[in-house]
Amino acid sequence: MNKSDPKPETHQSVETYDYALFGEVDESSLDGIRQIIGRRMTASWQNVPHVTHHDEVDVTELESLRHQHNQGLDDGGQKLSTLSFIVKACICGLKEFPDVNASLDETGKTLHLKRYYNIGMAVDTPLGLIVPVLKNADTLGLSELAAGAAQLAGKARTGKLGFADTEGGTFTVTSLGKIGGTGFTPIINAPEVAIMGISRMKQKPVEHDGKIALRLMLPLSFSYDHRVIDGAKAARFVGFVRDLLQNPDRLIQAS
């Protein structure tokens, strides 16, 4: 390149203009938390090659089993959540596919495989999306996962999270739950290398035992860092998680 040529820009910013030229405009400042989230998400999107693998899980048996368990509880017993089953299945998947529970260093040459399982759970709060981390989640049973997730979500929504509650994550689960959607592309919570997105479950006619039946289906959206995980491994990981969720007794036994 000739010395007189301008240096290429690495990241181009989006151009803005005076929007009031075309009509009335109101302005409001983004709060500090929203700005931090924006910077982290932008850095992840610009530096990590994202790919998203979509799948559906038949959770008819899981939800039936979960409701039976919750209805049989005495007063004060910990109810199981759908999220607790999903987190447990993901932890089993991380143990089967260690590359998914890892971080790539800045040089792109060294992969840090983590032997601990700290699961981040994205929580929608008045201040924006916050990701508290459930530490050593692999040591917890389904009831303990449900209780731990509910406790962290409550602290996040009331502004009571400490810094220690948000650090050390190895894998993140983000759920749109009852809000809706049939799938999305969650942005990886770098330096993690993958994130599991959950959309709203709904009944759909699908093939089941050789017949068309109305089944409760849950969409999964698994985003991964393509430098570390290729498409085949991503599909196998999601398939492993899907098979566990479709056989919830195995997850109860794993607890």
Kindly give, in sequence order, each residue whose CB lies less than 8 Å from that of residue 50, ignoring residues fewer than 6 positions away: 185, 187, 188, 223, 224, 225, 226
Q: Give the end-to-end CA distance of the chain in Å, rounded to a whole number.
A: 61
Is 226 annotated as catalytic? yes
Single out the catalytic residue among 50, 54, 69, 226: 226
Q: Could you give the CA distance from residue 59 to residue 56 in angstroms, rounded to a whole number? A: 9
User: Do the beta carbons of residue 248 and residue 62 sit within 8 Å?
Assistant: yes
Peptide bond into 191 cis (omega under 30): yes
DSSP element (H, E) containing 198: strand 194-198
Q: Could you give the CA distance from residue 139 to residue 154 in angstroms, rounded to a whole number? A: 22
Which of the residues are catalytic? Answer: 226
